Chains A and B, each alone.
Chain A
Amino acid sequence: MEQMLSFIAAKANYWTYVILLMVGLYAMIVKNNLVKKIVGMVIFQTAIILFYVSMGYKQGGTIPIVMHDEAHHGATSAAIKAIDYINPLPHVLMLTAIVVGVATLGVALSLAMKIYQEYGSLEEDEINEKLRNI
């Protein structure tokens, strides 16, 4: 039991992302309200961002800003140890992913607005009811 707990604890960040992913997916599939579904979608996307961010993290690593000493440039400077720095690439990628997520959210919300204008409701079953009556 203790082993299992420590296993889970060691990968806590991954477990969190999986749980968030499932929460998001659940909301997108099960929820009746369109805005709740959209919220689910955002959680879903955020889970992936968390996954990427934690992927680049290293215990004891620091932010990857390499300070150059002007005098000791090039070969003479102390070798940069990659192990000291966290991997910046996934974090950079996520900047783009966040932008994509925001854009998706924007499109989704504007569609939801249009739906509300059209049917006067955001509840999926009510909308379907209205569609059937047309």
Chain B
Amino acid sequence: MIFFDRASNLLSDLPAIVVTVPLLAALIASGAGWINRKAPFIIAIASLFVSFISSILLLLQVTSTGVVIEYRMAGWAAPIGIVYIIDHLTALVLVLISSVSLINLIASKRRIDDQFRNKEGAFYSLYVLFTAGLIGMTTTGDAFNLYVLLEIASLSGYALIGLGSNRAPLATLNYLFLGTIGATFYLLGVGYLYIATGSLNMADIASIIPKMMNSSMILFAFIICLTGLLVKLAIFPVHGWLPGAYSESATVAASLVAPLTTKVTIYIMIRLCLSVFTPQYTFQHLETTDVMVWLSVITIVFGAISALSQKDYKKMLSYIIIAEVGYMVGGFFLGNKMGISGAILHIVNDAAMTLALFMVAGIFLWKTGEDSRESLKGMFGKMPFTMAGFTLAGLSVVGVPPTCGFFSKWYLILGGISAGQYGFVAALIFSSLVNAVLFFRIFEIAHFEPFKEQHPHNDHCDEQHQAKSHNEIIKEAPLDMLIPFIAVSLLLVLLGLYSGAIVNNIIHFVIPKGII
């Protein structure tokens, strides 16, 4: 481990910068909104950009040196002080969070300004605060600090989600109840861990746990912590909050919250199992594999079937997210190298896919003013670039190569086969087929049904063009929405083609020794 002295130089403070800059920016942004209406956006984007650059630098630092960075907050060493730990996995997830948040902000600015007029300060502040919370959760090496940051992210998440349609508050309140139960369970588990080990530092706890494998206190802590996280993950049967919360919220908020919340929670689950409870305890001592994999199989199948019966696009996406959570939880608890690699790779891929799919929803909402699948009629002709990106995103969810979804599924299925969990393999294949049906149903509407004229944001519609066949006129989304979206959808292919590099250079180092 490298120990950095405080304030030795800017580069060594990166683990602090990556969290504190957005945290402070959130504070400033809410005030700045009263002075200048444009200021919050500039502050938000600048702070996210700083976070993004810092996380890229951290990733480069970790991958090039291969050592874990330990940053002592205020110079206090562990286990007394709070340390921030940056290892390969952390750095990867950091880049993921900061880039998703940054790209989505650029793409959503027009809609945020349109939808939250005079509330920009509050919105941008919450947006950045949410990101800061997630980044903090990812980096912290302290179990209680994790709870605090989890609640920062959750509370700002509730507020963001609540700013949606007129059904949003009710859905959000449900989300808040379950989210609070989840977080409180986690806190309870941490309490028992503290009683048993006398420490809150993750590495410290991990060094103590092997000596008390048979302690019922540790077992209780493990179960309670995991239950809390599973509630937050919306695994069956505690998934009820997710579809409502994501589909009723404003699309700008959903496209930030949906790709990140569940993914970061999965990361926390992996962190907890590997870096706190140790893999020996999780996989060998407790033999969690069977229970958890079957739980995720049920979640996958349930998510897929429920998605089939949805008419609303965002609701369908929500159920797909539930199924994808099943992929990752199941993959991780397969407890072998392939499964864990697949789960981690899928965190990245699924975040990118979900982001792309919600961005599409945003673009169509902006262009047609309608939030339904009907608004997609004839869109392949109208908006070929958007639809091309949408197709890529859809295919990625289905798992068609060379998009990234295929590659993580590859690892997951191989993991399932080598663990002998054929139910998991079958569930993955089943959900791929269901996803194919889901997305081609949408593509069919866009491909076969003629375009329906309506333009809330396009008043300058030429009359002479109307006479011509509508299919021949291309009317794309504004470039500031289109370019980030196209970038994300191309990223889906690049992530796929370079998945070998990601696995070799990053995920390979995350797999603990002793796991084959």
Given a CB threshold of 8 Å, the question of whether A touches B is answered with yes
* Chain A residues, CB < 8 A from B184: 44-45, 48
| Residues in A20-65 with C-beta less than 8 Å from chain B | 21, 25, 28, 34, 37, 41, 44-45, 48, 51-52, 55
A55 to B166, CA, bound (A): 44
Q: Check if A28 sits within 8 Å of B177, measured CB to CB.
A: yes
Q: Check if A97 sits within 8 Å of B187, measured CB to CB.
A: yes
A114 to B172, CA, bound (A): 11
Instruction: Summarize A's interface: helix, strand, loop or mixed.
Output: helix
* Chain B residues, CB < 8 A from A127: 170
Q: Check if B181 sits within 8 Å of A44, measured CB to CB.
A: yes
Q: Check if B151 sits within 8 Å of A100, measured CB to CB.
A: yes
Among the stretches A3-11, A66-74, A101-109, the one at the interface with B is: A101-109
B158 at interface, CB cutoff 8 A: yes
Q: Check if B180 sits within 8 Å of A131, measured CB to CB.
A: no
Closest chain A CB from B469 CB (angstroms):
38
Closest chain B CB from A51 CB (angstroms):
6
| Residues in B189-213 with C-beta less than 8 Å from chain A | 191, 194-195, 200
Q: Check if B169 sits within 8 Å of A44, measured CB to CB.
A: no
For chain B, which range describes its interface: under 10, 10 to 19, 20 to 34, or 35 or more residues? 20 to 34
* Chain A residues, CB < 8 A from B166: 118
A111 at interface, CB cutoff 8 A: yes
Closest chain A CB from B182 CB (angstroms):
12
**Residue of A21, A48, A55, A112 with highest tally of chain B CB at under 10 A:** A48
Q: Count CB-based A-B contacts (< 8 Å).
A: 70
* Chain B residues, CB < 8 A from A83: none
Q: Check if A51 sits within 8 Å of B180, measured CB to CB.
A: no
Q: Check if A111 sits within 8 Å of B169, measured CB to CB.
A: yes
Q: Check if A48 sits within 8 Å of B195, measured CB to CB.
A: no
Closest chain B CB from A39 CB (angstroms):
12
Q: Check if B191 sits within 8 Å of A108, measured CB to CB.
A: no
Q: Check if B191 sits within 8 Å of A104, measured CB to CB.
A: no
A93 at interface, CB cutoff 8 A: yes
Please, which residue of chain B has its CB at the minimum distance from the CB of A42? B180
B116-155 vs A, Cβ < 8 Å mask (1 yes, 0 no): 0000000000000000000000000000100110010001
Closest chain B CB from A92 CB (angstroms):
10
Q: Check if A55 sits within 8 Å of B195, measured CB to CB.
A: yes
Q: Check if A41 sits within 8 Å of B180, measured CB to CB.
A: yes
With contacts A48-B187, A93-B144, A97-B187 taken as known, whether A41 is within 8 angstroms of B167 at the C-beta atoms is no
Q: Check if A25 sits within 8 Å of B169, measured CB to CB.
A: no
B158-178 vs A, Cβ < 8 Å mask (1 yes, 0 no): 110010001101101100110
B490 at interface, CB cutoff 8 A: no
Q: Check if B173 sits within 8 Å of A111, measured CB to CB.
A: yes
Closest chain B CB from A130 CB (angstroms):
10
Please, which residue of chain B has its CB at the minimum distance from the CB of A21? B188
Q: Check if A108 sits within 8 Å of B173, measured CB to CB.
A: yes
Q: Which listed residue (B151, B158, B194) contacts A90, Cβ 8 A? A: B194
With contacts A100-B148, A111-B162, A118-B169 taken as known, whether A41 is within 8 angstroms of B191 at the C-beta atoms is no
Q: Check if B181 sits within 8 Å of A28, measured CB to CB.
A: yes
A103-134 vs B, Cβ < 8 Å mask (1 yes, 0 no): 11001101110110010000000010001000
Given A51-B191, A104-B180, A107-B162, 13 other A-B contacts at CB below 8 A?
A: A28-B177, A93-B144, A96-B148, A100-B147, A100-B148, A103-B155, A107-B155, A107-B158, A107-B159, A111-B169, A111-B172, A112-B169, A131-B167
A residues near B, CB below 8 A?
Answer: 21, 25, 28, 34, 37, 41, 44-45, 48, 51-52, 55, 89-90, 93, 96-97, 100, 103-104, 107-108, 110-112, 114-115, 118, 127, 131
